Structures are given as C-alpha cells and as structure tokens.
Amino acid sequence: MEIGYDPPARFRDASDQAHAIVAAEVGTDDFGPDDYRQGLRVILQSMDYDPHFTDQGRRAAWGQIVGVLRSRACAIRSMRDHPGFDAAAIVSPVVITGMPRTGTTALHRLMAVDPRFQGLQSWLLDSPMPRPPIERWADYPQFRKSAALLEARYTAAPLKRAAHHVAAEEVHECCMLLRQSFVSNLWNCGWSAPTYDAWWQCQSEAAAYRHYRRCVQLIGANDPDKRWLLKNPGHIENLDLLFAVFPDAKVIQTHRDPAKALPSLVSLLMAGHAAIEADRADQRGVIMLEREVAKWSHATRKAEAVAAEHAGQVLHVTHRDFHRDPAQVLDRIYAFIGMDIPAATRAAFAGRIAEKPELQHGAHRYAIADFGMTDDEARAPFGDYVERFDLLETGR
C-alpha cells in the first residue's frame, strides 16, 4: 500500500498525472516500450466503474498504480545506467510454480536458504537494480521504504500477515515484476475489477515476460555465476512463455486439493477487502471463488499440455508430501536440478524446517462454505486432476 498520493477525481483521466508524478520522483520520463499503456488505461477505466472504494481504498489503489509505474521506471532507468547488464546468460533457473496456496512460498523460502542460489528480494522488485551486497541493504532508502510500505499493508489488513507474510529482505514472487507491464492477474486481486479481468483474459503476457527476463538479468548483474531460484504461481498458466524466455528452466510444480487451496486463496485476497471497498464482501467472496476455480482449473490443464512438450523439465511435488517429509522432497528436487546438498546446507534446511517460520504470525483460518461452494463443486472443474496426483483432503 502506497501512501502520500491524493487520488484524481476520475481515474480514467489520470494516466498523464501518474506518469508525471513518477517522472518527477525518479528523474526520468522513460518508461520503456509502450506495450504497458493499454493495460494501464484499462485498469484505470475499471477503477472508475467496478469497485466501491472507501476513501482509504481509493487512495491506496491510486498509490498502487503510481507505485508499480514507478517500479517500471526505476527498472528502465537502471537498465540504462548499467549497460551490459544483460550480457550474462541465465542458465537453467529453478522455477517453483503451482496453484496458489499449494506450498510454493514455503518451498521457495526453504530452498533460498541455500547460498548457491540468488533470488528476487521484495525490495528489489519495488526498485529493480543490480543487487548490492546484503550488508549494505539497510543503507538504501529503497529498502527502508519497501519495509515501511509492507508494515503499512499489515496495519491496514492484519489478517494478511498470518495468511501470507512478506518481508523486504526475503525472496518474493516474479509476478511483482510481471505486473509492471499492466497485463497481470494481480490487478484483479486488490479490489473488484471485472471489466479489467474480462480484458486481461484475452491478452497475451508475452511482452510482460520479456520485460521480466530483463529485470531478472538486471537484478542478478552482480552475481552472474549464481543460479537463479524463482517462484510464481501464475507461471502455470504461462509455462509456454516461461520456457520462451528461459528455455532450459527446471520447473517444480506443486499440487494440492483445489477444495483446500482455492478457498485459502480467496480468504487471503478478501482479508483486505474492508480496508479498500465499502461493501459487498459476501458477494465478492462468492464471485471470486467461482472465478479462481475456473482460472486455476484452466491453468493446470494448460500447464500439463506445455509440460508434455518439455520432457524432463517439470517435477511434480504434492503439498502433502512436502509437509509430511520436506527433507525427502528436497532430495528429490536436488536430484532433479542436478545439485548436491552439502552438509552445512542440509543443516540449515533442518533448522528452518524446525522453526516453522510460516506459522510465526498465527494460523490462517478459512472455510469453503464461507464462499458459497462445496468441496465437490470446487474439484469438479479439475476433472481427474485430484485423483491423478492423489490430492484428496477430507479434513481441514
């Protein structure tokens, strides 16, 4: 959540205003290729028509538009200021994906303990630049601002901390770079945006993936020999685009009973509703679960078709197996990606597993009945997916 920006009277007239604010802050009016502009225009139009914003929500939504546009401008400026940033090849990145709430975050942060990997830290997604040495991060105003904005988000919506905690210094998701192209599923998540969603469903994210690849190269420019560890649930709907930019990627796809994963996702997304929109929480939650079931059932089928064309590049991991025996799952993963696990790294893994940091901020509680659906109704659009991966969960 951005702070300090007074929203315009009409969002659809405010594209030039957003660009001017960012240009004044960043010191450049270069936003890169214009392929982001149509998406920006559509989301601004949607913001006038779809949500019932509170005053705080209107301000926060405008702040997010400006903040993402600023992140894009920062990336483009840093690319210009670091010629040759894209000289090094990105070799066989390890990419974690899968439906949301299937263990992608826990697995990602666990594997990030291995110092041989590099990742996308949250603060560098806000202000893309070549990653400086970790001991200097606190000296950067961009780092301090990211930490403050995250804390403001959890102050406004405390339930989000338990459901999905993010820290400025920790690795985060590729989608935060992909949304800089304004053709992104993320723009449907913060507030009601069905007219944007209808447009987005018909778009290609190819330009977003090209921009994303260049941002990854930029952030890793000081560590060209370190292997990348990346994560984003949305990649399963765009595995073809992911392999187009990273042809030799090693993909780990996580799986969980959709009747458990998707209500958890909707509960997470709805945690901030009251701070952003004035009413209709009961209606939006129901509509959102219908939408997410349709979206992710389609995504799993699409991912399966793409994976079949990339033999040996996708490893399947179930949520149940990861939580039952994470060490055994790590052994499978490291064999798949062609790396060993040194004793010190194995000990660090064991320490993080024992600490259970994902539970430090409380339990995330939800029920599918809260969103007007039964378990069987959530599973039905997935066909035999639950049976094939033995995902059925009958308890909470």
**Domains plus CATH for the chain?**
11-386 (3.40.50.300)
C-alpha distances in angstroms, 206 versus 69, 114, 200, 234, 243? 19, 31, 13, 13, 11
**Minimal CA–CA distance to 260: which of 371, 111, 388?**
371
Dihedrals phi, psi of 251, to nearest 5 degrees: -105, 130
**Minimal CA–CA distance to 216: which of 228, 208, 225?**
228
Locus of tokens 């959530």 = 378
Q: What is the full DSSP assignment across 160-200?
A: HHHHS---TTSB--THHHHGGGT-SGGGGTSS--HHHHHHH
* Mean pLDDT, range 53-80, rounded to an integer: 96
Reported confidence tier of residue 159, pLDDT bands at 50, 70, 90: low
**Minimal CA–CA distance to 183: which of 294, 34, 293, 70?**
34
Secondary structure letter of residue 314 according to DSSP: E
pTM for the full predicted model: 0.93
Q: Is the confidence at residue 2, as pLDDT, over 60? A: no
Locus of tokens 């000296």 = 139
Distance between CA atoms of residues 387 and 309, nearest Å: 23
**pLDDT (0 to 100) of residue 131:** 97
Residues in the chain: 396
Q: Is the confidence at residue 162, as pLDDT, over 80? A: no
- Residue 252 belongs to what H/E stretch? strand 250-255
Q: For 329-384, how does the pLDDT look when each residue is reduced to its tens digit (9 = 90+)? A: 999 999 999 999 999 999 999 999 999 876 665 566 789 999 999 999 999 999 99
Question: In 10 A of CB 115, how many CB atoms?
Answer: 11
